[in-house]
Chain A
Amino acid sequence: MAAYLRPKRLEDALATMAEPGWVVLAGGTDHFPARVTHTPDEAILDVTALSELKGIDRMADGGLRLGAGVTWTEVIEAALPPACDGLKAAAREVGGVQIQNRGTIGGNLCNASPAADGVPPLLSLDAEVELASASGTRRLPLGRFILGNRHTARRSNELLVAVHLPAPALEATGRFLKLGARRYLVISIVMVAGTLSRTADGTIVAARLAVGACSAAAVRLPALEAALIGRPVTEAAAALQPSHLDLLRPIDDGRADAPYRRHAAATLVRRCLNELARAA
């Protein structure tokens, strides 16, 4: 039987990761579904006992640090600024309550499904990931961490230890909209997350929109975000142009066809902007 390690100290985990061949296991909600047909004999590093991966903390600079092992339920139950309302809404859409109770933010990002519910809201919060290895730590913007379908920039000796939400993005309102063919336990056809920062008179000073399940990895919409700057928030939705979605690369699959996904993404972006405009 292969090894199963559940270290309590991060340095022990990172020392282990220096050796090749370890499978990292956190909440198990993606690990076990990938092992339905048979159970391989593999070396497992269980990271759920690492205190460095736990907790949601406000940093000195006003940003938030979410341990990679934070579960979706912990996100839902945490006192977070309104900018995180989209993240909380997404957390409620991850599987059922059973999955929310075990699945972790870090696992969602490392699994890198194109339809990962956590990615668009974290993109809309300018999230950065903190990666640690025995030789040190580094930070990457989330958009440069997830490179494609099931593909990340994590090196085999690295562990994702935290997600950082910088202070400016937290001075905003946030929303998340998910479209699926049923209620609960559904893989998204399209999802949209957004945050808007505005002046007291309602002028948009920062906009962060992200679309999931319409590309190999969820993407931000920089052209739309640029077009929104300086507009009154009440006219945000009117700024949306079809070309703003040109960078989406939706696919045809059993859940929907590509033209529909593009159309639905535009509809959800518009609705998201309208909801953000209405938010206090």
Chain B
Amino acid sequence: MLLTLTVNGARRSLDVDPARRLSRMLREDLGLTGTKVGCDAGDCGACTVRLDGRQVCACLVPAAQADGATIVTVEGLADPDGRLSALQRAFHRHGAAQCGICTPGMLMAADDLLAVNSAPDHQAVLDALGGVLCRCTGYLKIVDAVLDVASNAPDPAMPEAGAAVGARVNRLDGHGKLDGRELYGDDQTPAGVMWLRVLRSPHPLADFTLGDIDVWLKITPGVLRVLTASDVPGHNSFGIYPTLKDQPVFAESFVRYRGEAVAGILVEDRAAFEALDLDGFPIAWTPRDALVGTEAGLSPAAEQLHASSPGNVLIRGRVKSGDVEAALAEAAVVVETEIDTPFVEHAYIEPECGWAARDGDRVTVWVTTQTPYMDRDEVAHVLGIAPKDVRVIPSAVGGGFGGKLDQSVQLPLAVAAWVTGRPVATLYHRPESMASSTKRHPARMTASLGAAADGRIIGFKFHGDFDTGAYASWGPTVAGRVPVHAPGPYRVPNVLATSAAVYTNGPPAGAFRGFGVPQAAIAGEALMDRAAERLGLDPLAFRLANALRAGDTTATGQVLHASIGLAACLEALQPRWDDWKPQVAAFNATARATRRGIGIGCMWYGCGNTSMSNPSIFRLGLKPSGRLTLYNGATDIGQGSYTIMAQIAADALGAPLERIDQVWGDTDRTPDAGKTSASRQTFVSGKAAELASRDLRGQILRAVNAGDDATLSFENDCVRVHDKEGERVLALTNLPVDGEGDVLVGEGTFDPPTTPLDGDGQGIPYATYAFAAQIALVEVDTELGTTKVLKMVAAHDVGKAINPTLVEGQIHGGIAQGLGLALMEEYIPGRTENLHDYLIPTVGDMPEIECILIEDPEPLGPYGAKGIGEPALVPTAPAILGAIRHATGADIRRVPALPHRVLAAIHATRHIKEEVE
């Protein structure tokens, strides 16, 4: 059908399938990849465009209905000369884009609003943006940006040399996230590639036999070839840990979870990929009774899912100090709890996607990933080639949160490219992404806490069974990290904290912002509240009295020396807490169906791998032009490492930030900066960036024999060095250049110092810890069990806020995910494999948030900085759940606190009261 329409002011005519989604037409036929696709179901709003002025989901509009219409996409917002619109610039200066995948949709929804209402109020903004999901920002900076468009405030100036660290610098990679030019995993697939669809198991545990594939190939149009386990050239196995590669690329004869990959179907082009119906694929399934939950996995009668893990226990973790039984026996107060948490889905808006191509004996994979170097090594393992023969080039990443730390598309793509010799692309659809990808571990935890009559915690006992699902993934990391963190950021002389990662037939549970610590914090902080109540102490005061301080020893025997800002966080929260208490009492004195309550959560979080080496290497090169190139392997998944690393490098060198260009994440060009996980990039990679920069500075100074206090001035063919002796000039144009065209290259490596943990978990698991406390004010409808979080105040000790705007963005986003964990998120295989049955918070669910940044410097960190990514999420759910309890008495022992669970818990307290009375 020949369509004529106006797109971003230009008349366009094209011949397309009238039933084709407008989103596909814009992206594939018109090349306007700024419009993103997250779900194809109208659930996420990433594809929002304006059609005849109105915001619509382009994924829900057939091309035919766009005939004669006027369409505006994100590419149409900026001026023709590229200058961003007032709306885009407001987003930029507010830090409203993190990963940027929802940004086009948010911009277009806001553009629709502003076209009819140039001065909208807060509620109007929420209503206009309510149809676009964001998983990174927590929405607040987006709303602030929309409300601030009219101010047309100028962009913040780029900092002078030496003033980058601590400055609210606009995200250096922000422009492309705002005008639609940023290229995500599905935005850069070349024409002419094959497409690959993965056939997946519909059963959680089943044997299968493949039928006559050749016959199916003959009768199915567009299909080129089917890849199965026997086509994997190297090892048909992968996994995070070198000794735990327990997951096959393609299952061989049976599957251990719903969503497991069985075969790869190669088709000629994208149209065939979208039309491909796998219903008739020749495979016969024999389902078996699946192990659902850790109790089933641990049952003596349970099927053994992996021969190397008897009893289905993948691994155990343990930290023991003192004598917890004796402590609990002598404690004046002992409180106990049991908590259950579910699978939680990362729900990044960009699904897994990428493409791969073979070039002789090498293969290159372009992919949305948090961990290009692990991808490189894993692809090499599966193909049976050397890591140096694999190149991984990360695309812009549309959200990760730990979910893009595992292999997804990388391996089937690499196998397909390798065995066929042809480039090949793939893209998971939303249900496929949700079924196949890793999840947060469900936890079943029991804990008890004993305190002396004077309010000192004297003992803490914890056990958590963590459902690691069908394959190991990051299960050992969770099992190891949880016992260290379970006692919370408190002085506890007697601890026994144990964990087990249990195989089941759930989806593989892997890394998700916090590696099990958010779950453990729900149990530990609930006990803190209850112990305080029993002792007649204020929950904040009780925490402050027991807060870890310099000189204290943790349960692993580690003496903490510096950067222990929990007490400062609590003290900063105290005035708000004191304000809220009488407000809540006054409200509750007159309220009928609703009640308000306040709650508090504290956390600590070790930055970097647990007792394992996790070095980062950075390079900073100097070009003959006097420009600098940062070879930045710290993958930016929206958190801001692209910006932060440059801020650190600029100041460490003494150069203006705007002098620095970057090469980002390409495993052939950037040294290994490890993975974006464990809240390690600012701390570990940031330090490596600082060291690389100092190394380059030293080379420059030595070249002109200047002292360390010299100042540098970078010009177009030289560096001018000034010190008390005067000015010296390092001419650059006559120096030899290396393969990247640099004349001088500084390199820095940092590996945080830790020691192994012994059988009792004694040792130094982390070089530094982040600390935080958050308080929540909630309102509960006691007749319906619904909870609205009204306000939160978050105090975080980040050591040093390299970029406060980005730090706040992490806190807002962490709170949004913590709120989801507390109130609505529960992944159930086969039932919540989309973004309307699986709920994440929308713009309307967010509380007001006040961020308080505490800067207790970490001596090892770059300019004192440590991590914020995961710490932002950990205290949120405990604070909200504590506030629900304060409001209603309801003791929530199973999250999420869905309305029916809250109501049941409220009713349970009434029964208890009646029994007592």
| Least CB separation from A43: chain B residue | B19
A-B contact pairs, 29 of them (CB 8 A): A4-B17, A4-B19, A4-B64, A29-B57, A32-B21, A32-B41, A33-B60, A35-B40, A38-B277, A39-B275, A40-B275, A73-B54, A96-B131, A97-B109, A97-B127, A97-B131, A98-B48, A99-B60, A179-B899, A181-B896, A181-B898, A185-B130, A254-B832, A254-B837, A257-B900, A260-B899, A260-B903, A261-B900, A264-B900
Q: What's the least CB distance linking A241 to chain B, in Å?
A: 17
Roughly how many angstroms separate A48 CA and B61 CA in the complex, as a whole number? 11
Alpha-carbon distance between A40 and B824 when the two chains are bound, in angstroms: 33
Pairwise interchain contact B57-A99, C-beta atoms closer than 8 A? yes
Contact A33 B40, CB 8 Å, known A95-B131, A96-B130, A189-B899? yes
Contact assessment for B824 and A102 in the assembled complex, using a CB-CB cutoff below 8 Å? no
Instruction: Judge whether B130 and A97 touch: CB under 8 Å.
Output: yes
* CB interface residues, B 764-792, toward A, < 8 Å: 783-786
Within 8 A of A (CB), among B29-55: 39-43, 45, 48, 51, 54-55
Q: How far apart sit A35 and B60, CA to CA, in the bound complex (Å)?
A: 10
**Once bound together, how far apart are the Cα atoms of A102 and B25, in whole Å?**
18
Cβ contacts under 8 Å, A27 to chain B: 60
CB-CB under 8 A for A185 and B39, given A46-B62, A98-B57, A263-B903? no
- B130 engages A183 (CB within 8 Å): yes
Q: How far is the CA of A96 from the CA of B134 in the complex (A)?
A: 14
B41 touches which one: A33, A73, A256 (CB < 8 A)?
A33
B40 touches A36 (CB 8 A): yes
* B-contact 0/1 string along A254-278, CB 8 Å cutoff: 1111001101100110000000000
User: Any chain A CB within 8 A of the CB of B831?
Assistant: yes
Contact of A256 among B57, B126, B843, B898 (CB under 8 A): B898
| Distance to closest chain B CB from A40 (angstroms) | 7
Number of A residues near B (Cβ < 8 Å) is 50
Within 8 A of A (CB), among B704-762: none
Q: Interface readout for A61-75 with B: 1 if CB under 8 Å, 0 if not?
A: 000000000000100
Which B residues are in CB contact (< 8 Å) with A179?
Answer: 784, 786, 899
| B contact residues vs A (CB 8 Å cutoff) | 1, 17-19, 21, 39-43, 45, 48, 51, 54-57, 59-62, 64-65, 109, 112, 126-128, 130-133, 274-278, 429-432, 783-786, 823-824, 826, 828, 831-832, 834, 836-837, 839, 841-845, 896, 898-900, 903-904
Tell whether A148 is near chain B: CB-to-CB under 8 Å.
no
A40 touches B277 (CB 8 A): yes
- Give the distance to chain B from A257, nearest Cβ to Cβ, in Å: 5
For the complex with contacts A6-B64, A254-B826, 17 further pairs of A-B residues with Cβ separation under 8 Å are A4-B1, A28-B65, A32-B42, A33-B43, A36-B40, A36-B430, A36-B834, A37-B431, A46-B65, A98-B48, A181-B896, A182-B824, A183-B126, A183-B842, A186-B842, A189-B899, A254-B837
Interface status of A134 (Cβ within 8 A of chain B):
no
Of A97, A101, A263, A264, most buried by chain B (CB within 10 Å of CB) is A97
Q: Of B55, B785, B786, B831, which one neighbours A98 at CB under 8 angstroms?
A: B55
Top 4 closest pairs, chain A to chain B, by CB: A96-B131, A183-B844, A184-B130, A260-B900
With a cutoff of 8 Å between Cβ atoms, the chain A residues found around residue B431 in the complex are 36-37
B-side contacts of A96, CB under 8 Å: 45, 109, 130-132
* B277→A28 contact, CB < 8 A: no
Bound: A183/B488 CA distance, A: 32
* A29, B834: Cα distance in complex, Å: 15
Judge whether A14 is part of the interface by a CB distance below 8 angstroms: no
Cross-chain contact of A182 among B127, B841, B903 (Cβ < 8 A): B841
| Chain A nearest Cβ from B50, distance in angstroms | 10
- Whether, in the assembled complex, A1 has its beta carbon less than 8 Å from a beta carbon of chain B, the answer is yes
Which residue from A6, A28, A182, A263 sits with its C-beta under 8 Å from B18?
Answer: A6
Which residue of the partner chain A has the closest CB to B18? A4
The reply to whether A97 and B824 form a contact with Cβ atoms under 8 Å apart is: no
Tell whether A25 is near chain B: CB-to-CB under 8 Å: yes
Q: How far is the CB of B16 from chain A (nearest CB, A)?
A: 11
Contacts of A31 in B (CB 8 A): 60
Docked-complex contact B62 and A28, CB < 8 angstroms: yes
**A19 touches B (CB below 8 Å):** no
Q: Say yes or no: A185 contacts B62, CB within 8 Å.
A: no
Interfacial chain A residues near B17, Cβ < 8 Å: 1, 4
Residues of B within 8 A of A268 (CB): 784
**Is A206 on the interface with B (CB-CB < 8 A)?**
no
Kindly identify which residue among B276, B823, B844 contacts A181, using a CB–CB cutoff of 8 Å. Answer: B823
Contacts of A48 in B (CB 8 A): 65
Q: In the complex the two chains form, what is the Cα distance from A27 to B59 in whole Å?
A: 11
A41 interface contact, C-beta 8 A: yes
Complex interface: chain A residues within 8 A of B109 (CB):
96-98
Residue A131 at the chain B interface, CB threshold 8 Å: no
- The answer to whether A187 has its CB under 8 Å from any CB of chain B is yes
**For B112, what are the chain A residues with a Cβ–Cβ distance below 8 Å?**
97
A39 and B845 contacting across the interface, CB-CB below 8 Å: no
**Which chain B residue shows the least CB distance to A266?**
B783
Does B784 contact A264, Cβ atoms closer than 8 Å? yes
Instruction: Compute how far the CA of A1 lies from the CA of B221 in the bound complex, rounded to whole angstroms.
Output: 13
Residues 157-173 of chain A: 1 if any B CB is under 8 Å from the residue's CB, otherwise 0?
00000000000000000
Assembly CA distance A180 to B896 (angstroms): 14
Q: How far is the CB of A106 from chain B (nearest CB, A)?
A: 15
Enumerate chain A residues within 8 angstroms of B832, measured Cβ to Cβ: 254
Chain A residues with Cβ below 8 Å from B126 are 183-184
**Which of B42, B784, B845, B896 makes the CB contact (< 8 A) with A29?**
B42
On chain B, the residues within 8 Å of A44 by CB distance are 18-19, 62
Inter-chain contact B784/A32, CB cutoff 8 Å: no
Give the distance to chain B from A117, nearest Cβ to Cβ, in Å: 13
CB contacts under 8 Å to B, within A76-131, are 92, 95-99, 101-102
CB distance from A13 to the nearest CB of B (A): 14
In chain A, what residue has the closest Cβ to B844? A183
Q: Is the CB of A101 within 8 A of B898?
A: no
**Given A38-B277, A44-B19, A260-B903, CB of A32 within 8 Å of CB of B60:** yes
Instruction: Compute how far the CA of A257 lies from the CA of B898 in the bound complex, rounded to whole angstroms.
Output: 10
CB contacts (< 8 Å) of A39 on chain B: these are: 19, 274-275
Also in contact, A101 and B56, with CB within 8 A (given A48-B65, A183-B844): yes
Known: A29-B42, A44-B19, A260-B903. A182 touches B845 (CB 8 A): yes
**A261 nearest in chain B by CB position:** B900
Decide if A187 touches B837 in the complex (CB within 8 Å).
yes
In the complex, the answer to whether A267 meets B40 with C-beta atoms within 8 Å is no
Query: How far, in angstroms, from A44 to B276 measured CA to CA in the complex?
Result: 19
User: With a CB–CB cut-off of 8 A, which chain B residues contact A189?
Assistant: 899
Of residues 1 to 35 in A, which have CB atoms within 8 Å of B's CB atoms?
1, 4, 6, 25, 27-29, 31-33, 35
Residue in A closest to B907 when the chains form the complex, CB atoms? A263
In the complex, are the beta carbons of A33 and B54 less than 8 A apart?
no
Which of the residues A25, A38, A183, A187 comes within 8 Å of B62, measured between beta carbons? A25
